[in-house]
Amino acid sequence: MTDTRTPHDPWQWLEQRDHPDVIAWLEAENRLSEAWLSQHQDQREALFLEIRGRIRETDLSLPACKDGWLYYQRTEAGAEYPRYFRCRQQGAQDLSIDTATEDCLLDLNELAGDGFLQLGDMAVSPDHQQLAYSLDRQGDETYQLFLLEIATGQVRELDLPRADGSLLWSNDNRTLFAISMDHTSRPATLWRLEDGQPAVEIYHEADQRFYLHAYRSACENWLFIASDSKNTSEVRLLPANSPTAQPQLVSPRSEGHEYDVDHGMGKLWIRSNQSGENFALYCADPAQPQQWVLHTPCSSEHTLEDFYVQQTGLILQYREQGLVCLQVHSNQSRYHVSMPDPVYSLHLQGGEDYTSPCVRLRYESLNRPAQVRALELATGAQQVLRDTPVEGPFNAADYRVERQWATTADGTRVPISLIGTVDSFQQAAPLYLYGYGAYGASMDPWFSHARLSLLQRGWIYAIAHVRGGADLGEHWYQMGKLENKENTFSDFIACAEHLIASGLTRPDLLTVSGGSAGGLLIGNVLNQRPELFAAAVADVPFVDVWNTMNNPDLPLTIGEYEEWGDPREPDVAARIKGYAPYEQVKPQAYPPLLVTAGYHDVRVQYWEAAKWVARLRSCKTDDQPLLLRTQMDAGHGGASGRYQAMREVAEEYSFLLAVVSNGH
């Protein structure tokens, strides 16, 4: 492939991972950042203590029910990680913990020591005698696999290099399935693992655009092997009772055809976009998986986003006007699940057996901490099983939640979700505007214990639901990718301008934030309209998009062509160069900026942030703070411990409060 990278890139040398000069440069940037941030150490520490003070540090999760067992986790004050337990269930609806039959399955604090630790997956064998689990000790999303004999406590490591961490049992209690990654960190090969036997390759996905994953059906009688690119799917099924059987194809891949499959109530259920971009639902006999029968046709009004199967009912998840709506089909009846708030986040959460008459819903809003609710499928009755506690003074009624709409130059109305105290809406206030806008990821409003520290200081928090996400359905996503990518940036700017024009904030009070692909968004709008913002935060930002997309040897690059385009095509090349933040840095004044990176990040390489900061520092015409904080022992998700994560948020908030305080 011809090298089409940025010519004469003065900061390309920062891509030399582990070179002493690169390490020294990153560490020097960390020292500069700490020197600036330490001037506000009192504020940073106060924020950390506030955030920590709202968390119930010693807590017990809501147990998940499985075949007469309860599985749950405990957190303890001072411990970075949870401990995982199980006990016998005392009765069909009884969720009380029986300490007499309790087993500690995993103590992540003991496993972590002082280093990084990320739990990838936990899978209990069908007979509940063994626990398979995976651990990432570096942050590069490469996992070691382990098998615990629960009765004896004996642990052994399973030999599968470059494992992606996922684990799946067959019903024989002996056979595990796991996936390994190729040299670009793409999940590519499914293996069958049996005690004492060499791993057997089951399926290899050769197309670099496709990612492999495997999962159990709702009824647990089938295993599914799915290959997915950004716009095309292919699924194979395997009887869970016959792990050595030949996987059977559900439907051969066809460019642009996306589908996903589950099994329950004696049928295969298939959500597919073959008849329209908003998806329809089909069913089929597992013996003839390619003969589909239409169950729910495609709608022009809303997107069928997902579906769930229980023994006693089918749940369809729609996306309508930026909100998740659930429709239940049970006992020959249909009904919609109602929710108490006008702006919220809702999804099904595991925890009940397939045969249970109930499912669990996770529900939250900007001013309502997450609840787990039991939904009785036959009647629609709901019961709150657990409220996430907020320690200290908190009253949801003290906060005003709104949805407003910004209008773009092309007439598109873009939703904005907002929360603040009643007083903060009465005059121009400091405002934190968050955006993402990629991969069809919907930014449903969520509650944050940490965010209260800003709200209680008179700030407003807002989410711009820009195109590129699927907040308003599949079409919303399609209108913010490939040749439509500029809509993501113009939508965000329109939201900022709307918030200023409405009197809620001013440019000297408006801060913006985004991470990963949302960092690309932040980098772009700062180049376009730096005068519009008082400060910005870019977490692990995908800002060197042009050079990354021109390097197919980097992790995950080729699979990204369907999201951003193939830069070997001249029109695509011109488009990406035109919006790439690193390419478009120019001599002008930029607002204060805090940038983070993870040295072991395989999704967005550390050097994207580093090169961007270096170019900004060499070009910008102001003396505003420009800080780069690289976590040298972490990856894409930042620090792994919960207290470490709180400190990262406290640091970000202390930065924003420091740079905006002069304008408020």
Give dist(CA 59, CA 101) in Å, integer. 19
pLDDT of 415: 96
DSSP 313-354: EEEEEEEETTEEEEEEEETTEEEEPP-S-SS-EEEEE--S-T
200-204 and 267-272 strand pairing: unpaired
Q: Tell me the residue type at 489.
A: F
pLDDT of residue 2 exceeding 50, the answer is no
On whether the CB atoms of residues 146 and 163 are closer than 8 A, the answer is no
Structure tokens at 74: 């405990």
Q: Tens digit of pLDDT for each residue in 593-606? A: 999 999 999 999 99
Give dist(CA 646, CA 649) in Å, integer. 5
Number of residues written out for the chain: 664
pLDDT of residue 663 exceeding 80, the answer is no
What are the two backbone dihedrals, phi and then psi, of residue 371, each rounded to the nearest 5 degrees? Answer: -115, 145
pLDDT of 639: 81
pLDDT of residue 195 exceeding 90, the answer is no
Give dist(CA 268, CA 283) in Å, integer. 5
Percentage of residues in the chain having pLDDT higher than 90: 92
Q: Tell me the residue type at 229.
A: S
Nearest to 86 by CA among 98, 77, 75: 98
| Mean residue pLDDT across the chain | 95
pLDDT of residue 395 exceeding 90, the answer is yes
Q: The sheet that has 368-376: what strands, in order across it?
A: 345-349, 358-365, 368-376, 382-387
On whether the CB atoms of residues 376 and 357 are closer than 8 A, the answer is yes
Structure tokens at 470: 């699927």
Give dist(CA 644, CA 650) in Å, integer. 10
Q: Which residue has the tokens 């647990």?
A: 220
Beta bridge partners of 175: 194
Structure tokens at 499: 């918030």
Average pLDDT over residues 477-494: 98
pLDDT of residue 664 exceeding 80, the answer is no
Could you tell me how far CA 201 lies from the centroid of its own chain? Answer: 29
Q: Tens digit of pLDDT for each residue in 604-613? A: 999 999 999 9
Average pLDDT over residues 563-574: 96
The pTM assigned to this predicted structure is 0.94
Residues assigned a catalytic role: 516, 601, 636
pLDDT of residue 5 exceeding 70, the answer is no
Structure tokens at 33: 């950042």
Query: Three-class SS string for 397-424?
Result: HHEEEEEEEEECCCCCEEEEEEEEECHH
What are the two backbone dihedrals, phi and then psi, of residue 636, each rounded to the nearest 5 degrees? Answer: -65, -35
DSSP 186-246: -EEEEEEEETTS--EEEEE---TT-EEEEEE-TTSSEEEEEEE-SS-EEEEEEETT-TTSP
pLDDT of residue 7 exceeding 80, the answer is no
On whether the CB atoms of residues 422 and 400 are closer than 8 A, the answer is yes
On whether the CB atoms of residues 465 and 488 are closer than 8 A, the answer is no
pLDDT level of residue 196 (50, 70, 90 thresholds): confident
Burial 578-615 (b: 16+ CB within 10 A, else e): ebbbbbbbeeeebbbbbbbbbbbbbbbbbbbbbbbbbb
pLDDT of residue 358 exceeding 50, the answer is yes
Give dist(CA 345, CA 224) in Å, integer. 28
DSSP 495-516: HHHHHHHTTS--TTTEEEEEET
510-515 and 593-598 strand pairing: unpaired
pLDDT level of residue 6 (50, 70, 90 thresholds): low
Q: Tens digit of pLDDT for each residue in 427-460? A: 999 999 999 999 999 999 999 999 999 999 999 9
Give dist(CA 392, CA 579) in Å, integer. 45
Q: Tens digit of pLDDT for each residue in 27-72? A: 999 999 999 999 999 999 999 999 999 999 999 999 999 999 999 9
pLDDT of residue 305 exceeding 60, the answer is yes
DSSP label at 288? S
More confident position, 321 or 359: 359
pLDDT of residue 83 exceeding 70, the answer is yes
On whether the CB atoms of residues 360 and 373 are closer than 8 A, the answer is yes
Nearest to 654 by CA among 47, 32, 31: 47
Nearest to 401 by CA among 448, 456, 341: 341
Q: Tens digit of pLDDT for each residue in 234-267? A: 999 999 999 999 999 999 999 999 999 999 999 9
pLDDT of 1: 40
More confident position, 94 or 133: 133
Give dist(CA 554, CA 605) in Å, integer. 9
